[in-house]
Amino acid sequence: MNLALLPLAAPPPPPAAAAWPLQPRPEIVRGFEPPTKPWLPAHRGVDLAGRPGQPVLAATPGTITYAGALAGRGVITITTGPRRTTYEPVVPAVSVGATVTTGAVIGRLSAAGSHCLPRSCLHWGLLQGKQYLNPLSLLPNRPVRLLPLTEGQTQPTAAAPRVRSADPPASAPDVPPDSNRRAAKLVIAATAALTLTAGLLIRRE
């Protein structure tokens, strides 16, 4: 029996790690807010605080498929397969068809068309096919945002102590057991005295 050794197909290389498009690590002015329906308004990206003229870096490697004005602001698109990252408003320093690596300077942040007026910020977007995704998901160590506890997550209050049926009500005064017995003996003695007196009066009549 002859055995043939077939070469195993090499697994596809993992996608290159992304980087922040602004350095040093910028403040996130507004996060990703996907629409409830594809046609409804939303915030399809993140806004990163910057300054006019600051270098804008390629967050992912790929090919420049758009670099120019769009709706009054400069936009750059980097495409890698079905994935596209977008940057605006930017004064492009690259041309369509150029290949860029992660961290390469692709333009300068523009003050015109900022999403954060009067501040300047970079709007960074991510699309997979036609679906908008959170670009922060590309980062190897993406930031964690702490959210306040909701009403359903508040700490439970301490349960009220259970009251046994044999316990006296809280408003009743504390009466020693000896006092109860003495009172009962006095009532019995007074009842006996009244009974005896009534019997003597009946006999006299």
Q: How many domains does the chain have?
A: 1
**Whole-structure pTM over 0.75, yes or no?**
no
Assess whether pLDDT exceeds 60 at residue 196: no
Residue 107 lies in a domain: yes
Residue 55 lies in a domain: yes
Lowest mean pLDDT among 22-31, 42-51, 68-77, 182-191: 182-191
User: Using omega within 30 degrees of 0 as the cis cutoff, is the peptide bond preceding 168 cis?
Assistant: no
Residue 32 lies in a domain: yes
Residue 160 lies in a domain: no
Q: Tell me the residue range of the domain where 132 lies.
A: 28-138
Assess whether pLDDT exceeds 80 at residue 145: no
> Could you tell me which residues come within 8 angstroms of residue 121 by beta carbon, excluding any fewer than 6 positions away?
29, 47, 48, 49, 50, 114, 115
Predicted confidence at residue 102, as pLDDT, reads 96
The CATH number given to whatever domain includes residue 40 is 2.70.70.10
**Phi-psi region at 35: left, alpha or beta (left = phi > 0; alpha = psi -120 to 50):** beta
Residue 158 lies in a domain: no
Please report, in angstroms and rounded to a whole number, the separation of the first and last CA atoms in the chain.
Answer: 138
Residue 195 lies in a domain: no
Predicted confidence at residue 16, as pLDDT, reads 56
* Among 20, 4, 13, 10, residue whose Cα is nearest residue 136: 20
Which residue would you say has higher pLDDT here, 150 or 119?
119
pLDDT tens digits along 1-26? 555 544 444 444 445 568 999 999 99
Residue 180 lies in a domain: no
Residue 172 lies in a domain: no
